[in-house]
A and B are shown apart, each in its own frame.
Chain A
């Protein structure tokens, strides 16, 4: 189709495009700023409010160590509230960014690492290592990494497609693999003694409870290394989304870009899962929410922030929403995520 327009109108069009892009850019900055503010609010709520309120001056006194605060506030802040808020942030960022990356690659909101079974692979390997092999700490993390990577490889070979193509087949293969891995998890639970099994079942629902500062340090290192790389890869992924030829033409070989993105996602998902278990639906939810906030544009950074807001707030709700009931964060995200997925199915074409 040829476009015949007078020269003057071409300038108009250029101006139109320029201004609309500027608007989108401004909206992007606004959304990112808003999400950052939302995350800050969530952090404040999580660390200071709840059954045991901590005042702002007390918070600084404890964190900076400039004074004594009576009443066990120091213990509660440093051993429960702060670590949970921090690990929630890290986990949410990792899961949100991973989910949005997969959704961008597959051009399908349903192709997130949790729906595809990557999280389940990490969980099954981690639980197996924990209960049957008696491993702990780094061994569990490595096992989770191997589990998630194996599922990724199985997904690609069994659905006979490169990352990003044929999402329908890949999703169905993912559902099959998840079912298989779930039964592995159930089998492991049957072999464990009561206390181990209970511990493992709480972990399997996705919980921030009892996370140590050492684990947080480990997760922080992984996120600090992998997330910036993923954000850089995302720029090239946007090019790949335009079409393989275009991407190759501007120096972003699609195969290589996808492989790098896949590797980073596996790393982030596995590290997060090995620390706090499979937190349901965060990877799936964050991308579509960020996209809606941005008016249809996909952004990995925004999805990462959305993820951290979701996890920190869900953890707070799980801990304090019902008096005397302490729900793991994964129960809350599962209760919110399942209806959202059902709703999304009625709105968007699955294939």
Chain B
């Protein structure tokens, strides 16, 4: 079927091209924009191990944040897609469902009460907090009259976020230096995060990524509804639980890496769905491509929109993504 194949391959090729372009832009553009020649000579100097070249220093810093940005974009976009599929809720997103807030609370509790200081542990703390948040939000919405409707889930997520903010404020309010650190940490940012941090969170991210990447059939079955799904013989609850854990793991890894980056997980799957249609295997693949592109481009935009200072990527995604949520709410007849 040549037509069908073309429909698959053309967007995929365009998407991969966009990834390459976004990476190039992210390395080249910033408060001091480098020309293609400078980028190449900088990369070459880096590979040779030289750091005397000023362009090489800039390239080195930008390569780091590009890697972190791409990983975060991949993780949150896939997490959002899986959450939307699992909950059959078009408004699901790690930020809206309170998972980001739970993950952040987990890290703060670990630092303040347990005295944890290693970045590798942050990922697991974030996972613990995120899982608790996801379970609470889902349990509350499932217990609500009328079942887990999008509005109920969004409200439960908002309540959980507000409660987490209160706990964090209560823990940090008397500690000026902790509060000073936290005001930077509560904003999602890919700048100044060394690539080594990615390695610390890598085990969590890789396992979660594998689970979510293979979850297409489960999500497709979920989309059909509980009855049909059972009739088709899918082991519903176990499979869904594992996928949910994977989705939370991706979100938690991203929070440990960069802090909360909201709305990417909400918007990306919807954009992808416009091209791929409802098949979750394609939505996941598309989200894995569009997520990094979106985060890298947003981060780059944040560098040049208000020179000489930067606007962190987490702030940019919220300001650009919230209109996306409003658009979704107006477009779909959300109950």
Contacts and interface: CB of A to CB of B under 8 A. Distances in A.
The answer to whether A and B interact is yes
A202 B136 contact: no
A169 B174 contact: no
Interface size class of B (residues with CB under 8 A): 35 or more
A186 B186 contact: yes
B150 to A, nearest CB: 8
A179 B318 contact: yes
Given A169-B329, A186-B186, A342-B136, A179 B262 contact: yes
B179 A198 contact: yes
B163 A345 contact: no
Contact of A338 (B154, B162, B312, B325): B162
A197 B318 contact: no
Given A205-B173, A335-B163, A183 B319 contact: yes
Contacts, number: 159
Contacts of B263: 179
A92 B335 CA distance: 32
Interface string B154-192: 111011101101110110011010011001101100000
Interface size class of A (residues with CB under 8 A): 35 or more
Contacts of A182: 318
A331 B144 contact: no
A176 B162 contact: no
A121 interface: no
A276 to B, nearest CB: 14
Nearest to B175: A198
Contact of B325 (A168, A175, A202): A175
A190 B184 contact: yes
Interface in A307-321: none
Contacts of A328: 169, 173
Contact of B315 (A158, A186, A334): A186
A345 B144 CA distance: 6
Contacts of A347: 145
Contacts of A331: 166-167, 169-170, 173
A335 B262 contact: no
A335 B165 CA distance: 9
Most buried by A among B95, B150, B163, B325: B163
Interface in B256-273: 262-263
A280 interface: yes
Interface in B300-335: 309, 311-312, 314-315, 318-319, 321-323, 325-326, 329-330, 334-335
A202 B314 CA distance: 22
A124 to B, nearest CB: 12
A345 B141 contact: yes
A346 interface: yes
> Interface on chain B toward A: helix, strand, loop, or mixed SS?
helix
A326 B334 contact: no
B155 A198 contact: no
B315 A176 contact: no
A337 B164 CA distance: 11
Given A168-B335, A194-B176, A338-B162, A173 B319 contact: no
B154 A172 contact: yes
Contacts of B319: 180, 183-184
Contact of A172 (B91, B169, B186): B91
A345 B329 contact: no
A189 interface: yes
B274 interface: no
A180 B318 CA distance: 5
B155 A171 contact: yes
Contacts of B186: 186
B151 A351 contact: yes
A350 B334 CA distance: 12
Given A183-B319, A339-B163, A349-B145, A330 B169 contact: yes
B119 interface: no
B34 interface: no
B47 interface: no
A191 to B, nearest CB: 8
A190 B95 CA distance: 21
Contacts of B334: 168-169, 172
Contacts of B335: 168, 351
A334 B329 contact: no
A172 B163 contact: no
B183 A173 contact: no
B149 interface: yes
A177 interface: yes
A205 B182 CA distance: 14
Nearest to A335: B166
Interface in B196-235: none
B138 to A, nearest CB: 12
A342 B169 contact: no
Given A176-B325, A190-B184, A346 B158 contact: no
B2 interface: no
A241 B7 CA distance: 54
B149 to A, nearest CB: 7
Nearest to A177: B322
A190 B326 CA distance: 27
Closest 10 CB pairs of A and B: A334-B166, A338-B163, A183-B318, A180-B322, A341-B159, A176-B325, A346-B143, A331-B170, A176-B322, A183-B315
Given A115-B155, A326-B174, A331-B173, 14 more contacts: A169-B330, A172-B151, A173-B329, A176-B325, A178-B158, A179-B262, A187-B315, A190-B183, A201-B183, A202-B173, A205-B169, A331-B169, A337-B162, A350-B155
18 contacts: A110-B155, A115-B155, A115-B158, A172-B150, A175-B96, A176-B323, A176-B326, A183-B318, A186-B186, A189-B183, A198-B180, A205-B166, A331-B170, A334-B163, A341-B156, A342-B156, A346-B144, A351-B151
